Amino acid sequence: MSLIEITEVRKSFGTTEVLKGINLDVEAGEVIAIIGKSGSGKSTLLRCINGLETITDGSISVAGAQLLDDEVHLKALRLKVGMIFQQFNLFPHLSVGGNVMLSQTVVKKTPKAEAEATARKMLERVGLGHRFDAYPDELSGGQQQRVAIARALAMQPTALLCDEITSALDPELVAEVLAVVRELAAEGMTLLMVTHEMKFARDVCNRVVFMHQGRVHEAGRPEEVFANPQTAELKQFLGVS
Ligand code: ADP
Ligand code: MG
């Protein structure tokens, strides 16, 4: 059994089908890059995996538990699968520490002292242990995104989904965020990343999934996928001919 099992998943918005039968099994500890043109369904797939969208057909299971379309199951699923977005969405009126503590105390009902200890530990892990009392607007974009990563980690997820988490950052801030992700990967975190950072995908990921028009069009080890793309669509996407 794989950690995440995605079987024949379809998703429509109205009459438009944007996921057309996705099959993808993710083993614990795998680091997968999801690449593809804008509109190919990458974000929708991640949003389905953590239950932000309900699927139209097929099935998704995480750690053996099927994603069923009811609130109890969706809530349980969101606890297991963390998600980080392009926009950091930190609460501006809360301190960095307060941001990392919030879902623990509200969603998990973790006692405050324990939530604070976890928040300090996770901020340490992303290199921001010294900024617990700072406010988001005192931090750079890269630091804010690292706080968002700490906030996701504080929920002790079994997998992390990252949707273009460096796309809103100034180029000089991308590396510090990718360094944190690289470290999580090395520590064995299961990661699904939608990314445009091809060098990162090549260096850190053990599988690359190319999506095209709502399907997994091509997938494989990064050295194969990048050096020897098989389909015309992937060749075009990578800019090779
Ligand atoms: P990607 O992340 O690869 O750019 P998305 O998953 O965001 O692609 O979008 C795939 C398709 O689904 C696009 O055509 C987009 O317009 C459509 N789509 C995404 N979310 C919605 C929604 N909430 N309602 C209607 N259409 C949507
Ligand atoms: Mg997207």
Interface ipTM: 0.98
User: Which of 9, 10, 11, 13 for a ligand 1 pocket mutation test, highest count of atoms within 8 Å of Cβ?
Assistant: 13
Query: 236 C-alpha to center of ligand 2: Å?
Result: 19
Residue 236 CA to residue 241 CA, distance in Å, equals: 7
Q: What is the pLDDT of residue 71?
A: 65
Ligand 1 pocket check for 195: Cβ under 6 Å: no
In this predicted structure, what is the pLDDT of residue 64?
Answer: 77
**How far apart are the C-alpha atoms of 84 and 164, rounded to whole Å?**
8
Q: Which atom of ligand 1 sits closest to the CA of residue 214?
A: 10
Q: What residue ranges of the chain have pLDDT lower than 50?
A: none
**Residue 43 in contact with ligand 1 by CB distance below 6 A:** yes
- Please state whether the predicted TM-score (pTM) of the whole model is above 0.80: yes
Q: How far apart are CA 220 and CA 200, in angstroms?
A: 15
- pLDDT computed for residue 80 by the predictor: 86
Instruction: Give 19's strand partners.
Output: 11
- Among 143, 190, 148, smallest CA distance to 170 is for 143
Q: Is 47 in the pocket of ligand 1 (CB under 6 A)?
A: no
**Exposure string over 88-127, b if 16+ CB within 10 A, otherwise e:** bebeeeebbbbbbbbbbbeeeebeeeebbebbbebbebbe
pLDDT attached to residue 68? 66
pLDDT at 72: 65
Residue identified by tokens 């099959």 is 23
Q: Say if CB 124 and CB 155 are below 8 A apart.
A: no
> Which pLDDT score, from 0 to 100, does residue 77 have?
72
